[in-house]
């Protein structure tokens, strides 16, 4: 739906961008080797190949965040091959904890053990590519609650060479991805196409919203960090996602380059239980409201399809 707010926001951004590709965005993909309801190694390997080929074709650098607990779900060796493919394609890898559990449930000590347990394979693969393990992404974007839990985790990460990878664009791709896998499994081509179209439409709308949010806090576009997942949906959508970034004047940069934007030096004092992204955290630090009136949730049919599929598998 095109609203008056959208029109105002669009003309504002068009007027504001002298260079059509001046904006920066770093893509991050969580839950490697893959987020899928289909437990099939060939499917997982193939979707990663397709995704990586697409990223390379569009010159989009990316960082993949690994759950080493998933390596044992399928063929251990071939799962490691998938991680290696990311590094061979010139992408980076980070730690997303071993078992993808919440710090708020585990508490600081068990959560730190889970981070350490998620290191060895990724660390060894990075070393073989002359790189070091530097990035950590919190599962569910939950950074630890209450405050002492967060403080202990932050302290441990900082003294063990990690930097937290924030998220400043999140279009709930995971919620579309499971119904998409399910449509593929049921060979329902109509539904598959419908989900993909709705996903892309929602992603572009949310990209606009996050840019508006950044302008509210910083009066400018920041170098964005987008949260995505290693899914068949994104593998099939990568050409369309690249086109969305182009239309919005954004070009892909590595995560460390995006993090050079001074916006990422804004303190994050949020220690509540919710997994919220960083613009919302900073809105609290800076005492400025985000444009919630124009925020939209994923379509209702996607939300109900997700609940149904998630219960079935
Ligand atoms: Zn995750």
Q: What are phi and psi of 11, to 5 degrees?
A: -65, -35
Which pLDDT does position 218 carry in this prediction? Answer: 98
Which residues lie near ion ligand 1 (Cβ < 5 Å)?
Answer: 30-31, 139
Q: How far is the CA of 158 from the centre of ligand 1 (A)?
A: 21
Which segments of 58-146 does DSSP mark as H helices, in order?
Answer: 76-88, 103-106, 108-117, 120-128
Which pLDDT does position 110 carry in this prediction? Answer: 98
pLDDT tens sequence for the chain (313 residues): 445 455 445 544 544 444 456 899 999 999 999 999 999 999 999 999 999 999 999 999 999 999 999 999 999 999 999 999 999 999 999 999 999 999 999 999 999 999 999 999 999 999 999 999 999 999 999 999 999 999 999 999 999 999 999 999 999 999 999 999 999 999 999 999 999 999 999 999 999 999 999 999 999 999 999 999 999 999 999 999 999 999 999 999 999 999 999 999 999 999 999 999 999 999 999 999 999 999 999 999 999 999 999 888 7
Q: How far is the CA of 31 from the centre of ligand 1 (A)?
A: 5
32 close to 65: Cβ distance less than 8 angstroms: yes
C-beta atoms surrounding 8 within 10 Å: 12
Which sign does the torsion angle of CA 31, 141, 239, 38 carry?
Answer: positive
Q: How far is the CA of 111 from the centre of ligand 1 (A)?
A: 14
Its CATH class, for the domain covering 21-312, is alpha beta
Q: How far is the CA of 94 from the centre of ligand 1 (A)?
A: 12
Sequence ranges of the domains in the chain: 21-312
Q: How far is the CA of 138 from the centre of ligand 1 (A)?
A: 7
59 close to 221: Cβ distance less than 8 angstroms: no
Which pLDDT does position 16 carry in this prediction? Answer: 45
Is omega for the bond preceding 33 within 30 degrees of 0, making it cis? Answer: yes
Q: How far is the CA of 9 from the centre of ligand 1 (A)?
A: 31
Q: How far is the CA of 183 from the centre of ligand 1 (A)?
A: 22
Which pLDDT does position 22 carry in this prediction? Answer: 84
Q: How far is the CA of 10 from the centre of ligand 1 (A)?
A: 31
């Amino acid at each position: 739906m095109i609203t008056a707010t959208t029109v105002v926001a669009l003309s504002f951004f068009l007027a504001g961008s002298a260079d059509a590709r001046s904006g920066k965005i770093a893509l991050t993909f969580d839950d490697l080797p893959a987020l899928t309801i289909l437990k099939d190694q060939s499917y997982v390997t193939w979707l990663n190949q397709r995704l990586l080929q697409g990223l390379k074709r569009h010159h989009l650098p990316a960082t993949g965040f690994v759950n080493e607990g998933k390596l044992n779900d399928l063929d251990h060796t071939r799962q490691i091959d998938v991680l290696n493919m990311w590094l061979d394609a010139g992408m980076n890898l980070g730690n997303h904890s071993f078992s993808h559990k919440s710090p708020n449930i585990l508490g600081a000590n068990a959560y730190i053990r889970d981070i350490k347990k998620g290191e060895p394979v990724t660390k060894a693969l990075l070393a073989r590519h002359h790189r070091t393990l530097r990035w950590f992404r919190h599962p569910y974007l939950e950074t630890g609650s209450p405050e002492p839990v967060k403080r202990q985790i932050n302290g441990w990460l900082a003294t063990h060479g990690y930097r937290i990878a924030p998220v400043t664009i999140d279009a709930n791709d995971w919620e579309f991805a499971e119904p998409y896998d399910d449509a593929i499994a049921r060979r329902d081509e109509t539904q598959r196409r419908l989900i993909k179209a709705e996903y892309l439409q929602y992603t572009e709308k949310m990209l606009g919203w996050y840019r508006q949010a950044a302008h509210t806090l910083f009066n400018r576009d920041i170098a964005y960090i987008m949260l995505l997942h290693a899914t068949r949906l994104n593998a099939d959508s990568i050409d369309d996602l690249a086109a969305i970034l182009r239309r919005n004047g954004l070009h892909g940069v590595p995560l460390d380059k995006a993090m050079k934007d001074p916006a990422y030096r804004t303190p994050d004092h949020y220690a509540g239980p919710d997994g919220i992204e960083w613009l919302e955290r900073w809105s609290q630090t800076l005492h400025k409201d985000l444009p919630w009136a124009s925020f939209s949730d994923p379509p209702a049919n996607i939300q109900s399809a997700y609940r149904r599929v998630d219960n079935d598998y």
